[in-house]
Structure 1
Amino acid sequence: MRRQVTIVVYHHIAEQEDPLTSKLGVVTRPDVFEKHIKHFARHFDMVSGSDLVSGTLPRKPLLITFDDAYRSVLDTASTILKTANAPSLFFVNPATLLGSSLPVDNILSLAAEVLGMQQVIALLNINEAGLTSVRRLIGNVVPKWTQAQLAHAKQQLCAAMGTDELELRRTSKLFLGVSDIKTFAGLGIEVGNHSMSHPFFRSLSANELETEIVQSRELLEKLSGQTVQCLSIPYGNALDATEGALRAARHSHKAIFLVHAKSNRFKPAADIFYRISLGNAAPEELPLKLRIMPVIRSVRDWLW
């Protein structure tokens, strides 16, 4: 019997910010993460991605997921999860894993730290009012860029900082390497597909979607030795669940994940699932964030 499932998403589990993440709002402190896991263990039945895909779920299912390729999931989160006997699903970008690229988000965060937000905007020749933060820039401008424009922007920013993308990836300690992903299965971590290089899908061609979705999955299976059944759409926005993206995804995946923090009681298709980003939410806020607000958002959007 299919049951309504609660799905949470995290990114980087760390005590302190890094210049590559400080402007992104993706860090959850380990002590907070541990409190969240203890709350889940008390109030939910924690399940795996395979459990979700099978459709046979316990009474109060909750799935823990991670996005991107931060090695803190392996170094820090996995120990906390193992103590609670909690499975998880880790959506990874193989281009970051292989060391061939970094998501534009991380480069923008570093550039804002090193150069300042105004110089970043000037360098990228952006003429749009109200861009006072990296997160606004990512939400309002980056989705419009083609792959070529994205690559050029990263090159410009790195040059202004006196470095390049490969050097940043090589010297950073934030991200997983190829050998790390092979250890996931022994830790109860399933591998999911988060696209090859973490772009917004809405601006991609059919060939680019093939690379980002289908070829990415094939590469992750080869690198991890696991069967990859699930896709997390980068940035988690329904606008990127385009007809072309869904068509490419459904050829090779059994579940597709967004964010939006809405209730899966009202999800738009059987294979699409909403997730809730908890960040550093206090434990006493979790009942509201996990049970009440998702329903309110879903009803509000339905009424609108």
Structure 2
Amino acid sequence: MRREVTILVYHHIADHEDPLTSKLGVVTRPDVFEKHIQYFARHFDIVSGSDLVSGTLPRRPLLITFDDAYRSVLDTASTILKTANAPSLFFVNPATMLGSSLPVDNILSLAAEVLGKQQLMALLNINETGLTSVPGLIANVVSKWTQAQIAEAKQQLCAAMGTNELELRRTSKLFLGITDIKRFASLGIEVGNHSMSHTFFRSLSSTELETEIEQSRELLETFSGQRVQCLSIPYGNALDATEGALRAARRSHKAIFLVHAKSNRFKPATDIFYRISLRNTAPEEIPFKLRIMPVMRCVRDWLW
């Protein structure tokens, strides 16, 4: 029996901001995360990704997921989850774990810290004055770039900061390595696919989609020893759930995840799921964020 499932997405669980994340809005404090998990344990039945894929769910199903490749999920979140006996699903990017690259998001965050917004925009030849944040820049400008343009932008920004992508990845302590993923199963964490390099799908060719989706899945299965059945589309935007991306994903994945913070009662297909990001939401606000706002967003979209 299929039931409506509530799905949460977190990223980096940390007490302090790092220049590689400070402009992205992806950090949840450990004390807040612990309160969230305690709330979920009291009011929901916490399920795994495999439970979701099976379609047989308890009365109040809730799935906890993580995106990207932040090692704080392993170092901090896993301890909190284990105390609550709560499973989770961690969507990771093989390219980041391999240590040769960083997502453009992190480099933009660092550049905004080091160079300032004005110089960052000038280096990238961006003239849109309405952009006031790095997430806005990513959503409105970077989302339209090709992979070649993104690679060039990362190189330009790193050069302006007197470093390079490989050095930033080598010296940062934020991200998982290949050996870390082998620990997931013993901690109750299932592995999910978050694409090879954390890029927007909307402008990719069929060959690029094959690398980002299928080759990524194969690497994750090899690294982890787990079966990978779920794909989280980077940035969680339905615009990246293109026909080509969905076709590539459905060849080997059973569930596809977006964000949009909408109710899964109104999801667009049986294998597509919406997620909600709570970040540092106070516990007393959780019912409104999980029960009321997702339905209101669906009604809003229907009216539009």
**Which TM bucket (shorter chain)?**
over 0.9
Pairing of 1:20-31 with structure 2 (within 5 A): 20-31=20-31
RMSD: 0.5
Alignment-derived partner of residue 293 in structure 2? 293
In structure 1, what is the equivalent of residue 16 of structure 2? 16
Percent identity of paired positions between Structure 1 and Structure 2: 87
SS of alignment partner, residue 202 of structure 1: coil
Q: CA deviation at 1:127?
A: 2.0
> Quick one: which amino acid aligns to residue 167 of structure 2?
E
Give distance in 1, aligned partners of 2:132 and 2:290: 30
- Separation of aligned partners in 1, 2:271 and 2:138: 27
CA distance in 2, matches of 1:140, 1:128: 10
In the aligned structure 1, how far is the partner of 2:128 from the partner of 2:250?
36
* TM superposition shift of 1:291: 0.8
User: What pairs up with 1:223-234 in 2 under 5 angstroms?
Assistant: 223-234=223-234
Q: 1:84 maps to which residue?
A: 84
Cα distance in 2 between the residues matched to 1:42 and 1:101 = 40
**Number of the residue aligned with 1:222:** 222
Match of 2:112 in 1: 112
In the alignment, residue 214 of structure 1 is paired with which amino acid? E
- Cα deviation for residue 131 of structure 1 reads 1.6
**Per-residue displacement from partner, 1:243-277 (whole Å, max 9, x unpaired)?**
00000000010000000000000000000000000
Taking the aligned partners of 2:277 and 2:289, their CA distance within structure 1 comes to 9
Number of the residue aligned with 2:183? 183
Structure 1 residue 168: Cα displacement: 0.2
Query: Aligned partners of 1:127 and 1:39: how far apart in 2?
Result: 45
Aligned residue number for residue 69 of structure 1? 69
Specify the code of the residue in structure 2 equivalent to 1:164.
Answer: N
Are 1:272 and 2:268 an aligned pair?
Answer: no
The farther-off stretch of 47-56 and 121-130 is: 121-130
How many angstroms apart in 2 are the aligned matches of 1:151 and 1:158?
11
Give how far 1:126 is off: 1.0
Q: TM-score if structure 1 supplies the norm length?
A: 0.99
Give the aligned partner of residue 284 of structure 2: 284
Look up the match of 2:141: 141
Match of 1:37 in 2: 37
Instruction: Summarize deviations over 1:93-129 as a string: whole Å, max 9, x none.
Output: 0000100110000000000000000000000111222
Count of aligned residue pairs for this structure pair: 304
- Secondary structure in 1 matching 2:202: helix
Match of 1:172 in 2: 172
Residue 151 of structure 1: aligned partner: 151
Cα distance in structure 1, aligned partners of 2:93 and 2:254: 18
> What SS class does the counterpart of residue 277 from structure 1 fall into?
coil
Residue 135 of structure 1 deviates from its aligned partner by 1.2
Q: TM-score, normalised by structure 2?
A: 0.99
Partner residue, 1:53: 53
Q: Give ranges in structure 1 of 5+ residues lacking alignment.
A: none
Q: Name the aligned partner's letter for residue 168 of structure 2.
A: L
